[in-house]
Amino acid sequence: MWLQYSLGSIGGLLAGLGSFYLLDELVIERERRFDKFYMLCVGMGLLVGLSGAYLMKSLSMLFLTIIFGSTLFIGATIDKQYLILPDEGAILLLISGLSRIWLLNISWQFVLMGVSLVWLGGSFLQKVTNGGLGLGDIKWCSVFACWLSLEALWYTIVLAFVGGTCWLLLYWLVTKRTLHILPFGPFLCIAAWIMYLWEQGGGLISI
């Protein structure tokens, strides 16, 4: 167990450092990175590594969990700043998610079902809201089907919408102003991470 915790800590710290580097390289407009942000990246990476070491039963799943958590952190940060969830992150989650499916021998039928339902439902919401829901949100949420069961994926979507709605309400109560543009990516990524940890901890039964 000590080896798994050590590898989780080291892997998480490396992921945090890598997150800081990628965020510094992928910014659309150059800006100065503050020390607090640097420490946040390192702290988030360490948290991902330790939580993965606690919940995962194998080293392969531990490293996949570090990739998943770090990518979610990067995506949420970029979307908050620039209102875009990058395709590169979705591709990374897809590749690592396919590895997870193969390692755990998960049914491909349920994965494809989850991807299809999210894509169709997201496309419908995008049309209804006149583009209020971004295509990047739909892509990332579809890829989450490689990481979450259908039940956990549904709870992720609900939790993300509830979190976004509560944030809008809180913003209005504090500022008495309406927030017209809300980055949905951070709520989606946080909800996915919560449900992933809950499911790995036995809160839900994976399909």
Q: The domain containing residue 39 runs over which residues?
A: 2-200
What's the pLDDT score for residue 156? 93
Q: Using an 8 Å Cβ cutoff, are 116 and 64 in contact? A: no
Q: Is the pLDDT of residue 141 over 80?
A: yes
Percent of the chain topping pLDDT 90: 19
Q: What is the average pLDDT value for the chain, to the nearest integer? A: 80
Residue 38 located in a structural domain: yes
Residue 151 located in a structural domain: yes
Q: Of 137, 155, 162, 164, which Cα lies nearest the Cα of 197?
A: 155
Q: Tell me: the pLDDT tens digits for 87-107?
A: 888 888 999 899 889 888 888
The DSSP code for 144 is: G
Residue 206 located in a structural domain: no
Q: How many independent structural domains does the chain possess?
A: 1
pTM: 0.81
Provide the pLDDT confidence category of residue 147 given band limits of 50, 70 and 90: very high
Q: Is the pLDDT of residue 188 over 90?
A: yes
> Of 22-36, 38-52, 140-154, 170-184, which gets the smallest average pLDDT?
22-36
Provide the pLDDT confidence category of residue 155 given band limits of 50, 70 and 90: very high
What's the pLDDT score for residue 9? 66
Q: Is the pLDDT of residue 28 over 50?
A: no
Rounded CA-CA distance 84/78 in Å is 7
Provide the pLDDT confidence category of residue 207 given band limits of 50, 70 and 90: very low
Rounded CA-CA distance 19/41 in Å is 6
* Distance from the Cα of residue 169 to its chain's centroid: 23
Provide the pLDDT confidence category of residue 196 given band limits of 50, 70 and 90: very high
The DSSP code for 33 is: P
What's the pLDDT score for residue 206? 44
Residue 82 located in a structural domain: yes
